């Protein structure tokens, strides 16, 4: 299957990053969101990222122009009707995602694969909003999508072998290292491992065992991780981490280990969502 035109629904941090990655491999990309301000913010984010690449000697001015020239922003989802491949990157909310998939299913050609960038929600449930569940799969990029090499390719119950192969091949073309998640299990692989790390790190601080700074230092120097859990939560968004915890808690037998700590809830209520609000576990 030849993929020349990719549609991305959602112009936020993940959506705009995926758009840039797709444009860098020569695809024409249409980035759609519900309001002009979101679309423009996504385009500005891509421009800024490429400018930093020029400053670091990773990108030339000519390459930046070429990449930006392949990207178009729109608020009209109908403009995605001619896309060869779709990636959804909207909010981590099942109802919102199902609404998007229902619209896309009625819009694009029957052979088009529709992927979701969800980090934990059931692919099978999302696909149930379509008449093509065999052509729906998870394509979970990591933040920032331009730099992080991993892509989780997740099978829904009905995802065909052909669909999974196409998604894996596209991820490889994008310069990524895909892994196949063979069962549609909550949290997939990375979040299933990472979220308990987050919860235990917060509990250590709640119990007065160590500070935020020292927990991060311990993980970086003791486990050789590039970032500590609190630095990572601030980067990805504390609200997103909370929603994933709540989802895993509901789906995985409500075990206590998946329950979101009170300290995280308090932080979110205070509006400290991380880097995007200039304050989370740390000030920015």
Looking up tokens 């994008």, which residue turns up? 174
Told to judge if 160 belongs to the known catalytic residues of this protein, a careful annotator would answer no
CB atoms within 10 A of CB 208: 7
Q: Tell me the CA end-to-end span of the chain in Å, nearest whole number.
A: 45
Task: State the sign of the Cα–Cα–Cα–Cα dihedral 54, 59, 62, 63.
Answer: negative
Q: What is the CA radius of gyration of the chain?
A: 19
Domain at 201, CATH number:
1.10.1040.10
Is residue 81 within 8 Å of 206, Cβ to Cβ?
no
Active-site choice (45, 88, 120, 140):
140
pLDDT score for 254: 66
Digits of tens for pLDDT over the chain (284 positions)? 789 999 999 999 999 999 999 999 999 999 999 999 999 999 999 999 999 999 999 999 999 999 999 999 999 999 999 999 999 999 988 999 999 999 999 999 999 999 999 998 999 999 999 999 999 999 999 989 999 999 999 999 999 999 999 999 999 999 999 999 999 999 999 999 999 999 999 999 999 999 999 999 999 999 999 999 999 999 989 998 998 899 888 888 766 678 899 999 999 999 999 999 999 999 99
Q: Is 154 helix (H, G, I), strand (E, B) or coil?
A: strand
Same structural domain, 27 and 154: yes
Told to judge if 119 belongs to the known catalytic residues of this protein, a careful annotator would answer yes
Same structural domain, 49 and 15: yes
Told to judge if 28 belongs to the known catalytic residues of this protein, a careful annotator would answer no
Active-site choice (16, 117, 122, 152):
152
pLDDT score for 155: 98
Domain at 91, CATH number:
3.40.50.720
Is residue 29 within 8 Å of 70, Cβ to Cβ?
yes
User: Kindly report the CA angle at 99 between 95 and 100, in degrees rounded to 5?
Assistant: 120
pLDDT score for 90: 96
Report if residue 12 sits inside a domain.
Answer: yes
Same structural domain, 131 and 245: no
Q: Is 137 helix (H, G, I), strand (E, B) or coil?
A: strand
β-bridge partners, 72: 30
Range of the domain at 251: 190-277
Report if residue 116 sits inside a domain.
Answer: yes
Same structural domain, 137 and 248: no
Domain boundary among 148, 181, 214: 181
Conformational region of residue 57, where left means phi above 0, alpha means psi within -120 to 50, and beta covers everything else: left
DSSP per residue, 69-115? HTEEEES-GGGGGG-SEEEE---S-HHHHHHHHHHHHHHS-TT-EEE
Same structural domain, 164 and 196: no
pLDDT score for 257: 75
Report if residue 283 sits inside a domain.
Answer: no
pLDDT score for 256: 62
For residue 59, cis peptide bond before it (omega within 30 degrees of 0) = no
Report if residue 127 sits inside a domain.
Answer: yes
Cα within 13 Å of Cα(245), Cβ side: 23
β-bridge partners, 181: 154
Same structural domain, 126 and 194: no
pLDDT score for 255: 63
Q: Which of 74, 120, 114 lies closest to 93, judged by CA? A: 120
How many separate domains does the chain show? 2
Same structural domain, 176 and 211: no
Active-site choice (119, 120, 159, 238):
119
Same structural domain, 19 and 62: yes
Told to judge if 152 belongs to the known catalytic residues of this protein, a careful annotator would answer yes
Q: What is the pLDDT of residues 120-130, one digit of tens each?
A: 899 999 999 99
Same structural domain, 124 and 243: no
Domain boundary among 149, 181, 213: 181
pTM over 0.85: yes
Report if residue 67 sits inside a domain.
Answer: yes
Active-site choice (16, 45, 122, 191):
191
DSSP per residue, 12-49? SHHHHHHHHHHHHTT-EEEEE-SSHHHHHHHHHHHHHH
Domain boundary among 139, 155, 181: 181
Same structural domain, 77 and 137: yes
Same structural domain, 175 and 216: no
Q: Which of 180, 179, 187 lies closest to 150, judged by CA? A: 179
Is residue 137 within 8 Å of 167, Cβ to Cβ?
yes
Same structural domain, 20 and 159: yes
């Amino acid at each position: 299957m030849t993929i020349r035109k990719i549609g991305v629904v959602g112009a936020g941090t993940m959506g705009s990053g995926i758009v840039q990655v797709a444009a860098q491999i020569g695809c024409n990309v249409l980035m759609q969101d519900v309001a002009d301000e979101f679309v423009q913010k996504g385009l500005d984010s891509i421009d800024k990222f490429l400018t930093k690449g020029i400053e670091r000697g990773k990108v030339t001015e000519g390459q930046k122009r070429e990449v930006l020239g392949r990207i178009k922003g729109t608020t009209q989802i109908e403009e995605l009707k001619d896309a060869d491949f779709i990636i959804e990157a909207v909010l981590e909310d099942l109802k919102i995602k199902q609404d998007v998939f229902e619209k896309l299913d009625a819009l694009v050609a029957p052979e088009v694969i529709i992927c979701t960038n969800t980090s934990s929600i059931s692919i099978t449930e999302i696909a149930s909003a379509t008449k093509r569940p065999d052509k729906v799969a998870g394509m979970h990029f990591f933040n920032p999508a331009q730099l992080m090499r991993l892509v989780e390719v997740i099978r829904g119950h009905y995802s065909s072998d052909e669909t999974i192969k196409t998604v894996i091949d596209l991820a490889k073309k994008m310069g990524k290292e895909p892994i196949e998640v063979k069962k549609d299990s909550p949290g997939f692989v990375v979040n299933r491992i990472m979220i308990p790390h987050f919860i235990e790190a917060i509990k250590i601080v709640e119990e007065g065992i160590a500070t935020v700074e020292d927990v991060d230092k311990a993980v970086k120097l003791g486990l050789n991780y590039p970032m500590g859990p609190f630095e990572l939560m601030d980067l990805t968004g504390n609200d997103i981490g909370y929603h994933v915890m709540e989802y895993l808690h509901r789906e995985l037998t409500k075990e206590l280990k998946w329950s979101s700590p009170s300290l995280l809830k308090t932080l979110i209520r205070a509006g400290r969502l991380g880097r995007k609000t200039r304050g989370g576990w740390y000030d920015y």
